[in-house]
Amino acid sequence: MSARLHRVLHGLLALAIALAGLVALPTPSRAATPVCALACDTLDPSKAQRDTFPVPQVNLGGRILKLHVSDPDSMAWASIDNGVTGDAVWLDRSWDRGATWEGLLGKASIPGTWTGTRTLMYNLTDPVGHRRGWIRACGDAAGVTCTDWVYPKVCDGTYCDGADPATAAGDERPVPATTLFGRTISLHVDQKNGMAWGVIESGGAGDEIWLDRSWDTGATWPEGSSLGRTSVPSGKTSTRTAMFATRDPRGLMFGGAVRACGREASHQEGSCTAWVRPAPSRARAAADALVASYHTYEGWWRSSWWNSAVAVTSLIDFAERTGRHDYDWVIARTFEQNRGSFPPGARSSDAVEGHFISRAIDDAAWWGVAWLAAYDHTHERRYLDEAVTIATYVHQYWDTGTCGGGVWWDRERTYKNAVTNGLYLWLTTSLHRRISGDTVWGGRAATAATWYLNSGMINGSGLVNDGLTAGCRNNSQTVWSYNQGLAIGAFTQLWRSTGNAQYLDTARRLADAATTSAALTRDGVLTESCDTGGNACDDNQKQFKGIFMRHFADLADATGSATYRTYIKRQADSIWATDRDPLNRLGQRWAGTTPNQVDWRTQASALGALTAADGL
């Protein structure tokens, strides 16, 4: 048979199969690039946490074709049974709702003497790449057929894609409508449930309305284009889409953005509103946007090691204060993926030597704070044990030979500063409060408190300067909000632990100084020195204010002070009114001045303020 005739016959066979309804002719698609979410493609199904069958199995000439899904892993695999040697099974995965797909994923054929086989596991979605996928199982047994796709609908809580807007808990228009040839195209949002729909008005028959959905703030929307596309019926002037979700918890996709788009019947061009993320509450909106920047596979927010510790702490505080468990998986993922060792440059410029420890003593301590927060939220002993390991490491750098005490900032013992000692004081007293019958950590906390109060780092105005000189005097360097906050939090914890009024008085004095001094508060809004004029804050400074708010809120809870609560509310109100865009991205300058900076660090910091205000 000639090669040309062979190609013709092969094409006719494929066409006959398609016409018989066995399988659609595939649209050409590039080869699959391995996807990593909680695990990477090609994981063995024996490691699946669950085995469910969300779509009906298919009978293929007596063979049984099944699609298997493990939702806790967000992965799927396929199997074929009752077959004969040479029967094959594989997965198709689509990133554009079935228009194209990566075919033959994990293709396996039944070997001799066997009657069945299965593929390896592949990811349902790609949260790192901001893509939500569909998957189906396909088999070839003298003919090709496939199961239905999973999951064509996004579900979040009790609502799923396609819900009727009449069931919405509210109807808000968070961004201005757009117009096109006299038509009005508007985006409508049920803020409480994170659902959205589009409406076209003042139109005519054939005009169209739809939603686009993006998982990367509108940069791309391969799966989400033309959701709910519908036309104005004859005799009408308006119509609306169904509702669509903006979070996909099952697919580990959070912080989805939507926009409404429309087209007038006699023209090809369309018009769209701005992109929007719903805001079920202020804190939840900030948390959703923060998690959208989380690197799911690596288990951190890329490029900043200690900042990731503070970010996960902010997320834990949000969960603890609101009672929500949406992001408990982030806590576990961060812990499991990062407690090992990493060479220089992988997580930090320094090597991470295991148990979140590196040469930077304060970096390790920040992770200790995170795991104590995780322990409080989950009650899992492993987090407390990790905090003890970290605090024990930090304690090795307590040195009475210089300045009479205090912890060194780095392993080279170059600097005794406020941040490291504030962290040590908070960790020691917090461990004492959590470990039944402890005397060791409580004794260390008392010693550290006495040293801190006598160190000179608190200046005459009640503000904490950055650290001590080589001669053990206050170095008069910048008053940063996080140093002030750590001291407030540490002395508040000491008061909770001991009942000693001196400690609570100190926390109040530090708080009052912070809220009344122009060094930290301007026009009632917490302001870093790098927030003013044309200044810019570095990646570390971007998170200082959120740390302050965490500990200031602890003091407000301890005292019940209306003044402190008013201050907290003032920060949250200013952030929400002046420092937020329609995608709920929150910047560095809580007063909304320019130039502003916005990234996941500023997001985590502002989340700390919004969480503190939750329930006030």
Mean pLDDT confidence for 144-157: 96
Q: What is the pTM of this model?
A: 0.92
Distance CA 8, CA 3 (A): 9
Could you give phi then psi for residue 85, rounded to 5 degrees?
-55, 130
Q: Per residue in 288-341, pLDDT tens?
A: 999 999 999 999 999 999 999 999 999 999 999 999 999 999 999 999 999 999
pLDDT computed for residue 4 by the predictor:
36
Nearest of 553, 418, 421, 443 to residue 497 by alpha carbon? 443
Identify whether the C-beta of residue 209 lies closer than 8 Å to the C-beta of residue 241.
yes
The full DSSP string for 25-76 is: PPPP-PPPPP-BSSSBTTB-GGG-S--B--S--EEETTEEEEEEEETTTTEE
Helix axes 600-613, 305-322, angle to 10 degrees: 30
pLDDT in tens, 451-509: 999 999 999 999 999 999 999 999 999 999 999 999 999 999 999 999 999 999 999 99
In terms of Cα–Cα distance, which of 538, 540, 522, 541 is closest to 592? 522
Nearest partner of 333 among 72, 605, 550, 606, judged by Cα? 72
What is the pLDDT confidence band of residue 222, given thresholds at 50, 70 and 90? confident
**May I ask the CATH architecture of the domain 282-613?**
Alpha/alpha barrel (1.50)
Question: Within 10 A of 145 (CB to CB), how many other CB atoms are there?
Answer: 20
Question: How big is the CA angle at 300 (ends 298 and 303), to the nearest 5 degrees?
Answer: 100
Residues spanned by CATH 2.60.40 within the chain?
27-152, 156-272
Can you name the CATH fold of 156-272?
Immunoglobulin-like (2.60.40)
Average pLDDT, the chain: 94
Confidence of residue 31 (pLDDT cuts 50, 70, 90): low
- Reported residue count of the chain is 616
Whether the Cβ atoms of residue 292 and residue 284 lie closer than 8 Å to each other: no
Q: Rounded to whole angstroms, how far apart are CA atoms 130 and 1? A: 48
> What residue ranges of the chain are covered by domains with CATH 1.50.10.20?
282-613
Give the pLDDT confidence score for residue 223 in this predicted structure: 86
Q: Which residue has the tokens 């005097």?
A: 473
**Which spans in 196-245 are helix H?**
none
What is 27-152's CATH topology?
Answer: Immunoglobulin-like (2.60.40)
pLDDT on residue 33: 87
- The single-letter DSSP state of residue 158 is T
- pLDDT tens-digit series, residues 520-571: 999 999 999 999 999 999 999 999 999 999 999 999 999 999 999 999 999 9
pLDDT at 1: 35
**d(Cα 453, Cα 503) in Å, to the nearest integer?**
10
Q: What is the pLDDT of residues 120-131, one digit of tens each?
A: 999 999 999 999
Q: How confident is the model over 48-77, as pLDDT tens digits? A: 999 999 999 999 999 999 999 999 999 999
